[in-house]
Amino acid sequence: MTLWKEIGIYDLIQISKNSYTVNSRLMEDALYFWDETSHTFHTPYGMITSTLLDVAAITGLPPLVEKILTITKSTTKVEYAIDISSTTYQSFILNNKGQDEEHVSDNEHIAFLLYWLSGIVFCARSIQVEVTNLPLAIMLAEGRKLCLAKLFLARLYLTLDWITDLVRGKKRITNVDGPV
């Protein structure tokens, strides 16, 4: 827990332990005001949108820490053994959990963070662990302070764009990804 507080993800992990109910009719109605080009809701009172500071206030993710680039990598040369042979949530958890009485290993910690990033933070539509998030999970487990707030906001915008396109095309929305 101390590590999670140091790197700024503790609050969001605590928030993610709660469940919530989405009013899908209200969400669908609100999306009619969403503009994909400016990532804003157009209302009679002007344009409004979520910002990086909103994400920081709601999630507790720090907005001004190390940027995540495609070249951002783990600084240690440690090899981890995360079982990604099956990426459905249930099998991933079963394949990567340790014994009940054992101390949480580095591999288990990384597996938890990978699950959390996929299922809670970025809400993978495929209902599977997104292996592409493994480098992020490793860096977080190693104590790197990464700017997840920017990724969260970008995923929110992309998800709103995608859902809006479906709603306007009168297509059925079966499974939504992203932090909506």
Interval 13-67: pLDDT, tens: 999 988 888 787 888 888 889 999 999 999 999 999 999 999 999 999 998 887 7
Report residue 98 as tokens: 């340790």
Q: Average pLDDT in the 143-157 region?
A: 91
Q: What is each CA distance from 172 to 92, 169, 175, in whole angstroms?
A: 29, 9, 9
In which band, very low, low, confident or very high, does the pLDDT at 126 lie, cut at 50, 70 and 90? confident
Name, in order, each residue with C-beta under 8 angstroms of 180's C-beta and a sequence gap of 6 or more: 22, 27, 123, 156, 159, 160, 163
pLDDT at 173: 63
User: Biggest alpha carbon distance in the chain?
Assistant: 58
**How many Cβ atoms from other residues are within 10 Å of residue 19's Cβ?**
5
Report residue 36 as tokens: 């994909």
Q: Answer with the residue of higher pLDDT: 98 or 41.
A: 41
Report residue 104 as tokens: 């949480």
Q: Per mean pLDDT, which range of 7-21, 75-89, 105-119, 146-160 is the poorest?
A: 75-89
The pTM (predicted TM-score) of the whole model is 0.83
Instruction: Say what percent of the chain tops pLDDT 90.
Output: 40
Answer for the pair 150, 140: CB distance below 8 angstroms, yes or no. Answer: no
For the chain, give the number of residues: 180
